[in-house]
Structure 1
Amino acid sequence: MTEPRLIPISALQHYAFCPRQCALIHTEQVWADNFLTAQGNVLHERVDSGEPESRRGIRYERGVQVSAPKIGLVGKLDLVEREQATGKLFPVEYKRGKPKPSDWDEIQLCAQALCLEEMTGQNVPEGALWYHQTRHRQVITFSAELRQRTLQVIAEVAAMLASGQTPKAVYGKHCLACSLYDLCNPKLMQQDTSTAYTQQLFATDTANEETPE
């Protein structure tokens, strides 16, 4: 019997940002770095490379591997703080930029808490997002609404990856920040027919044909 595929926690944020981006990365195995992702990689490498330590009754564990088959997730957490007196767990996710208007980051952090809960059997009521651009820690409470939203995204990602289908491109302002913009070609894929797309691929300097924007 084939074991169900465990979804990387990072796929949830990719999906919340753009379902097509999620499919390109996790189904088609397409990836490219830009300046923003490179900065993020350096930040996470710096965080993950830190040694475990204890300060003022708190144990700090970095690069924590988690696996939660019941909810279908696997991943690595930037930082987990544990109160040594009570055992209470507190996940912290590091982000390159600043707080976002949508709930992408909150979903990713909540998923981390759900994994910790499945693995330890204890309740994880809150965690934090730390943003490099603002140097500020934002505490997130894992409300019933956020938990339900996170479980919904997990189910949607699982269904999309199981289908093997990549959603069509839907161009928006968020596309400009995406490292896969050139590979995805959202404007081209959304606006042009396959004939026009083929013409654009094989056009020569002397063809004197109009190409899509």
Structure 2
Amino acid sequence: MAKLLQIGIVYPNEMRSGIGHVACTLGGVNYESRGGRGCLKGSAARGAAHPLFKHRFHRVLTDAQAKAAKEWADRCIGLTYVWAAVPVLAPPPKKGGDCSGFMSGILCAAEGKPITRRFSTGIWKAHFKALGFAEGLGSGLLGAAAIGVADRPYPGTPVGLNSPKKDHVKWIQARLNFAAGNRHAVLGGKPLAVDGDFGPKTQKVVVAFQKRHGLQGLGMCGPKTWPLLNAIR
């Protein structure tokens, strides 16, 4: 199954620092190189959907491209932030990079090219089409409309059938779709609609998800199910 590479960016003239910033979400996993913290992954990183980013873009990668990009990005995690640099893994010593350097490396790895800087935040707007990106997060593509957002804290009460908490329900539906590759056996191999409606179909998928993870399968997302949803990557 193909995967989305989603980019979130804020341009230099939109930040007080005058520098700009960029991060990505690859197949539902956030990646970012941040000053003071270096190369980050998962909930520690601000992905493409983070509100910091005023502009969002997406590109579809093949499984092989996504795997190559992920393997390279994962090897960078923990490296320090280095201004105006692209991460270097070999030859040693390893060296980190800045935000656009890290994102450039992910692009290069996906395309099987030598790791070089492909863009900076200041020139992204003029180059994103040539890099294979389209505007927006690619909502509706590959069932990834809400994947990549920061992990969501448990709201304090279970979310279940006919819940009025539409945003929570959409998040739950998107996570479940991503976990199942958009094919739920209990729905005849079809995905859930990410519509915020916690109806019988969503309940059925939640029950199946809970039972796969050793839970009783009551069909509502409570304190035991919520951490499992956050763990989907």
Q: TM-score, normalised by structure 2?
A: 0.28
Higher normalized strand content (fraction of residues) = 1
Greater relative CO (CA pairs within 8 A, separation 6+): 1
Which of the pair is proportionally richer in helix?
A: 1
Q: Which has the larger radius of gyration?
A: 1
TM-score by length of 1: 0.29
